[in-house]
Structure 1
Amino acid sequence: MIPPHYFQQPVLARVQDHLDGGTDNYAVDRAFARTLLTVAPWLPASVRINRGHWLRVLHYLTRGLGIDQVIDLGCGLPHDDHRQLPDSVRRIVYVDNDCVVEGHARMILAERAGTASLLADLTDVPALLAAAPIQQFDHDRPIGVLLHDVVPWLDDDTARTVLAALRALLPAGSVLSLTHATGDFTPAGQMVRLTEVCQDAGIFFRPRPGTVIEALLAPWTLLSGCGLVTTATWQPPGAAFNRPLSQHAGLDQSHGYAALATTGDPTT
């Protein structure tokens, strides 16, 4: 059941939908987005970059690494790229803890064979992986996990617990795609003010520096060529134009990092 106050306060998935030019949002979301934009006018570009990264990574996981079963954690409201799934995706489960978002995902995305949606709390990884849609995966083969723009909304202890549990419970050779907001390349004070605006609205938000994100990923093994780069400059490993982060810093509007990491199977 939807709480009566649900449409009276901003919801992140709807705010991001508005920032991306969508229509699945309400006046309260648009008002909050306007406040955010006074602090961080680059937010629409950042949202678009993160969403475009979703499809690039999905192509690489399925076609480059042969991982054709994927979990999209904290999927948010469906966007155009969700309707462009590569044929190489055999099965994908969209997971969100918001009942309205999950219901919308179920309605829009279930039209394609091999897709399912799941209402679940990603902070309870054992229960998540035991849910019926994910139990239909072949757990003798690697699973791809998309964790895009989710960890910044978790506190440090929860973030460490989630990442460690995924690492421990996923099949060998599974691959995690992470994106994470950062203030490393943001004009001085902007991320602090953005965090304060979210806090005033009762929304926890913690952008992290690259060193802290790397520490969170310590249980994992970064794929060769997949160290932290800005989300906008990420390319599949081995791409001729894939350069170290230092050559790209400050040249895009992603204001976030991206990385691919594996459970550490020596064949990856």
Structure 2
Amino acid sequence: MRGVDFPHIDSTRPSVARVYDAGLGGKDNYEVDRAVLRAIDAAVPNHTIVPRDNRDWLIRITRYLAGQVGVSQFLDLGSGLPTAENTHQIAQRVNPEATVVYVDNDPMVLAHGRALLEENDRTHFLSMDLTKPDEVFANPEVQRYLDFAEPVALYQIGVLHHLKDTDGIRQIMREYIDRLAPGSYVAISHFHNPGGEDGQAAADLQRVMSGGPMGSGYFRSRADIESFFGDLELVPPGLVHAPLWWPDGPQVKPLITPQRLFLAGLARKT
């Protein structure tokens, strides 16, 4: 893309976005990323079901918001690499007038994302640091594409668990939520440490993710994750395991351990 100076992509070090892409069966990843995925799977087998659950949940909430609720503006923070069924594809299938702004600063996402995500004049990709809400909201392009006097769906999907400072996350989310209009929605999915028997599996995964080359992956309590929504009203069924949030059909199989270590929720600002 002419005029765009993409950061250098280091294929010798794993990337969170590329590891997630590998977990979804994507092609925009390297052996170093797949090695991380194998290490995660060795710590807790079948963990690759989690990114798929997370993507399926994103699809369901986007259909709900664009369709039943009628939200027409989406701010997807930490968008990751484009794959099948991105936020704009889902929202615009329901409402062709929906506007989606993606924000990410991963070099791989910058290199691969813009051409694939900017498919039409209602889909935009911006390079920014999602941990700096002031900069995100002050960005002229964000202001141009999104009207914050009207409801916006703000996504932090599979992102916040890569930030270490829990109090810092609360402050970041408070700043985002304060700027949203009434009728807006906030979606968060996050690694969960439930304690008890599954608590050891969560600790093992956190050690592999945060102590290894990927560098991040923090498992928090339900109370901590709920606190990121501030005083917003959770949409039923609340903060739950992703496959249990308005599933497309009955749950015929019990959840396996990795699925019990991941929570997802959608909340409304009144």
TM-score interval for Structure 1 and Structure 2 normalised by the shorter chain = 0.7 to 0.9
For 1:8, what is the secondary structure of its paired residue? coil
Change (3 A) 1:102 1:35: same
Find out whether 1:168 has 2:178 as its counterpart: yes
Matches within 5 A, 1:1-268: 1-3=6-8, 6-82=10-86, 84-85=89-90, 86-88=93-95, 90-135=98-143, 136-154=145-163, 155-184=165-194, 187-201=198-212, 203-223=215-235, 225-235=236-246, 250=255, 253-254=258-259, 255-263=261-269, 265=270
Q: Is the 8 A contact 2:161 2:218 kept in 1?
A: yes
CA–CA distance in structure 2, aligned partners of residues 152 and 34 of structure 1: 20
CA deviations over 1:223-253 (Å, ceiling 9, x no partner) = 3x241111111018xx9979xxxxx984675
Give the distance between the partners of 2:99 and 2:64, measured in 1 at CA.
Answer: 15
Residue type matched to 2:112 in 1?
H
Identity %: 29
The two structures, once aligned, show a CA RMSD in angstroms of: 2.5
TM-score (normalizing by structure 2) = 0.86
Q: Any stretches of 5+ residues in structure 2 without a counterpart? A: 1-5
Counterpart residue type for residue 170 of structure 1: L
Structure 2 residue identity aligned to 1:234? W
Contact 1:229 1:257 in 2 (8 A): yes
C-alpha spacing 1:167/1:226, structure 2 compared with 1 (3 Å) = farther
Look up the match of 2:3: none
* 1:211, distance to aligned residue in structure 2 (A): 2.0
Distance 2:250 2:23 in 1: 30
Per the alignment, do residues 87 and 103 of structure 1 end up closer, same or farther by CA in structure 2, a change over 3 Å counting? farther
- Per-residue deviation at 1:123? 0.9
Q: Secondary structure of the equivalent of 1:189?
A: helix
What is the CA-CA distance between 1:175 and the residue it aligns to? 0.5
Q: Is the 8 A contact 1:74 1:147 kept in 2?
A: yes
**Cα 1:188–1:165 shift into 2, 3 Å:** closer
1:119 & 1:75 partners in 2: Cα distance?
11
Aligned-pair CA distance for 1:149: 0.7
Whether the 8 Å contact between 2:101 and 2:124 is mirrored in structure 1 is yes
Q: Per the alignment, do residues 253 and 193 of structure 1 end up closer, same or farther by CA in structure 2, a change over 3 Å counting?
A: closer
Task: For 1:174 and 1:188, locate their aligned partners in 2 and report how far apart those are by CA, in whole Å.
Answer: 34
How far 1:19 sits from its partner (Å)?
1.6
Q: Tell me, in whole angstroms, the C-alpha distance in 1 between the residues paired with 2:131 and 2:63.
A: 27
In 2 relative to 1, CA 249–130 (structure 1 residues): closer, same or farther, beyond 3 Å? farther
